[in-house]
Structure 1
Amino acid sequence: MRYLVPAVLAEPDLTAAKVAGLTDGIVGHRMAKAALELAVLDAQLRTVGMSMTEYLGGVRERVDVGVSVGITDTVEDLVRVVGDFRAQGYRRVKLKIQPGFDVEPVTAVREAFGSALALQVDGNTAYRAKDLAHLTELDAFGLLLIEQPFEHDANDLHAELATRCVTPICLDESLTSSATTAAAIHSGACSVVNIKAGRMGGYLEARRAHDVATALNTPVWCGGMLETGLGRAANLALASLPGFTLPGDISASDRYYAQDITEPFVLVDGQVAVPQGPGLGVTVREDVLREVITSRQTVSA
C-alpha cells in the first residue's frame, strides 16, 4: 500500500475514478488498490453528501444475504453448523466442497433441511478434468449453482461442465475485470457471476462487471470475505444494484466479529439493510479501533 498511496495523493484533482489509472503501473495488488479507491470514494462522497449506494446506482434499501460454510471435520458437524445458521435466519447457505467431501455432505444437508433451503456449493478451484463426470452428480440436489470448481484459467473445463450439468456454473477466481467477465460469459464458462470488488481491483470496476453481466442477461451476486463493517457497507451498496438477483456472501457482522469497528450489521428475515448515509454510510468506532491497532503509519505524497 505504501507504494500506491503517494502516487494517488500527488494528484491535484483526485477522484475515485482516477485511482485505477494512477495505480495501473503497479502490477497486481488488486485488493490494496480496491481499498485505496474505496477510501478516496468515501471521502469524495462525504464531501458532497451522497451515499455510495446512490453513486453506484443502487435500487434496494435491503438485500438478501447468505452465509458461507467451510469444510468441517465430519458431515455431522456440517449439518449442525448449517442448522445453527438456519436458526439465525439465513435462507441461503453456501457449502465449500472438495474431492472426497462433496456429494455426501450435500446429500446430508439437503435431507436435513429440505428443498426450502436455498443451497449452493463452492469448489474453490479444487477439482480437475478427471472430476467432470463426478461433479454432474450434484445435479440431483437442486442447487442454485456450482461455483468455481476448476482453476482460474480453466474456462474450457467450466464450459464443458456447463454442457453436462443442469445446475448453473458460476465463476469467482476467474473473473478479475469486466473484460474477463464478458469473455467468460461469451465462452459459455458460466451463466452466473460472483462479483468481488477486491478481486477486481475496486468497486468501480465491479460496477462495470455488473453492467456487462446485466447486458448479457447473466445474474450476479456479491461475494464476500472477512470484511469489517467498512467493507461490509461497501458490499451492501454494491449488492443493491439491480443485477444482483441472488443472495450475496454479506452475512451479519456477528458471523466473524464479536465486536466490529463500526456499528454491527444485523440479519433480519434473511436480509441486511443497505447504509444510506454519506459515503459508506457508517462511522468507525475509534474506541474499538484503538484497542486492536498494533501500529500506525502516516503516508504522504
Structure 2
Amino acid sequence: MAPIEEALDEPFECNRIEVRLISLPLKKPFTISRGEIKRKGALLVRIDEGWGEAPVLPEPIYNEEDSATAWHIAVDLAAPRLLELHEARGHLTLRDVCSLLDWIRGHRVTLSAFTSAFTVMVAERKHMPLAKLLGGVKDRVRLQHSIGLGSLEHLRREIEYAWSLGIEVIKLKVKPGRDEEQVSYARRLGAEKLTIDGNGAYSYRHLSHLAQLARRYKLWEVEQPFKPYDKVYHGKLASIAECTVSLDESVTSLEDVVEALEVFPKGRLGVNIKPPRVGGPLEALKIAKLSQEAGVHTFVGGMLETSIGRAVNIAVGSLRGVGEYLTSDISPPLEFYEEDLVEDTFTVKEGCVEVRSKPGLGFQVDHAKVEKYTVKAKEFKPRS
C-alpha cells in the first residue's frame, strides 16, 4: 500500500484555500485535430503549502470544461464545500477532498486542482517527495515527443529536436485526411517507434482505414482516434490493427478502464493516464495499479501544464508499470511557454526527466510569476 493510501483519513488543519485563474501565451500555436491552441488557461488551487493545477483551456475543445466553468465550479462549489467540512470538524482529510469527485458530476480536471493541492500539502507536512508519497519506484521517467499538426518541414524539425534530446518515441497528432502523409514522411526520416493520436477526430467509418494505416506502417500505438467516451470501436480497432490502441479522453476514472477491459483483446489496451483528466493523483494511482495487474500498457500524458501540474505527472510516471512499454509525454513547460511558474523548472536529459526528490511539489513556486499571469483570484478562510 502506498503511503498516500494510508493517509486517506488522516486529519489535517487547513488555514487557507486560494483559487486563481491564470492565462499564459504559448510561444507558438499547438494544433490538434480539434483546433489550434494559442493561449493556455489554468486554474491554480493552493491549500496552505500545497499547490495544484487544473490545465483547462479557454474553450471546451478537449473536454466539456473551460476556464469559465472551472472558475464557477471552484469558487462557487468546491472551495465552499471544503470550507464547510473544515468548519464542522476543524480539519480535512484526503478522503474529504476526493469526495468532491462524487459530489460534483464531471468537471474532473477542475477538481483535480483541489485533490492535487491537498496531496502536495500532505507530502510537504510529511517531509516526503510527492513520488514517494504515491509509491513511486523510479528516479527518472522516459519520454515520448508529441508533435502537433503542421507542415512537413515543421514535422522534420520536431523529430530532429526529439532525437537531439535522446527521445525515440514520436507521437504525431493526426486527423482524417492528414494522417498518412505525416506518418509516411516520419518513416522516411527514420522514425522507428511511431504513434499517432487522433484526439477523437475519427468516426466508426474510419475503422478499416486506421487498421490498414497501423499495419502498413507498423505503428507502435494508435491513441484515441474515436469520440470521447467510446470504448467499443477502440476495442474493435485493437483486434485488427496489430498494435496497442490507447484510450485518452475515454478514461475519466478507474471504472472506465474496467469497462474497456471487457471489449479489448488481451494485451492490446493502452491507457494514457492524465492525472487532471481522471481527477488527480489518487485516482491515477488506482488506474496504474489495476492496469499493471491486468496487463494494460500505461503512460502519462500531458495537457500543456506548467511545472506545478507537471510535478504530479512526473510523480505518477514514477509508479511501477507506468511508461514501461509506452513512454510518457511530459515535455518541459519552457518548450511551449516563455516562462514557467516555478523557479527551478526541469529539462530533458538522455530522453528522460528526473523524478524530484525534494519534499512536496519538488519545485519552488515563483509567486511573482503566478501573480503576473493571474486573471482573477479568490481566497477562502475557515472561521475560527
What is the TM-score of this pair, normalised by structure 2? Answer: 0.74
Unaligned runs of 5+ in 2: 1-73
Query: How many residues are matched?
Result: 298
1:180 alignment partner, one of 256, 281, 295: 256
* Corresponding residue number in structure 2 for 1:98: 175
Distance 1:114 1:215 in 2: 31
Question: Does 2:7 match 1:7?
Answer: no
* Corresponding residue number in structure 1 for 2:155: 78
1:5–1:300 contact (8 Å) kept in structure 2: no
2:308–2:363 contact (8 Å) kept in structure 1: yes
**Which secondary structure state, in structure 2, belongs to the residue aligned with residue 133 of structure 1?**
helix
Shift of 1:216: 0.3
* Corresponding residue number in structure 1 for 2:144: 66
Distance 2:350 2:103 in 1: 45
1:8–1:23 contact (8 Å) kept in structure 2: no
Q: Name whichever structure is richer in strand by fraction.
A: 2
Distance 2:172 2:112 in 1: 27
Distance change (3 Å), C-alpha of 1:164 and 1:34: same
2:229–2:251 contact (8 Å) kept in structure 1: no
Shift of 1:71: 0.8
**Which secondary structure state, in structure 1, belongs to the residue aligned with residue 348 of structure 2?**
coil
Shift of 1:70: 0.9
Unaligned runs of 5+ in 1: none
* Corresponding residue number in structure 2 for 1:122: 197
Shift of 1:297: 1.7
Question: Does 2:249 match 1:249?
Answer: no
Shift of 1:178: 0.7
Shift of 1:199: 1.0
Question: Can you list the C-alpha shifts for 1:151-205, whole angstroms capped at 9, x where unaligned?
Answer: 1233221121112111211111111111111210232175111111111111101
Residue pairs, 1:164-179, within 5 angstroms: 164-179=240-255
Distance change (3 Å), C-alpha of 1:294 and 1:160: closer
Distance 1:23 1:151 in 2: 23
**Which secondary structure state, in structure 2, belongs to the residue aligned with residue 94 of structure 1?**
strand
* Corresponding residue number in structure 2 for 1:157: 233
1:4–1:23 contact (8 Å) kept in structure 2: no
Distance 1:77 1:53 in 2: 35
**Which secondary structure state, in structure 2, belongs to the residue aligned with residue 68 of structure 1?**
strand
Q: Which amino acid aligns with 1:40?
A: F
Distance 2:375 2:98 in 1: 29
2:137–2:320 contact (8 Å) kept in structure 1: yes
Shift of 1:300: 3.2
* Corresponding residue number in structure 1 for 2:97: 19
2:134–2:285 contact (8 Å) kept in structure 1: yes
Distance 1:231 1:185 in 2: 29
Identity across matched positions, percent: 33
* Corresponding residue number in structure 1 for 2:186: 109
Distance 2:191 2:224 in 1: 24
* Corresponding residue number in structure 1 for 2:7: none
* Corresponding residue number in structure 2 for 1:233: 311
Shift of 1:22: 4.2
What is the TM-score of this pair, normalised by structure 1? Answer: 0.93
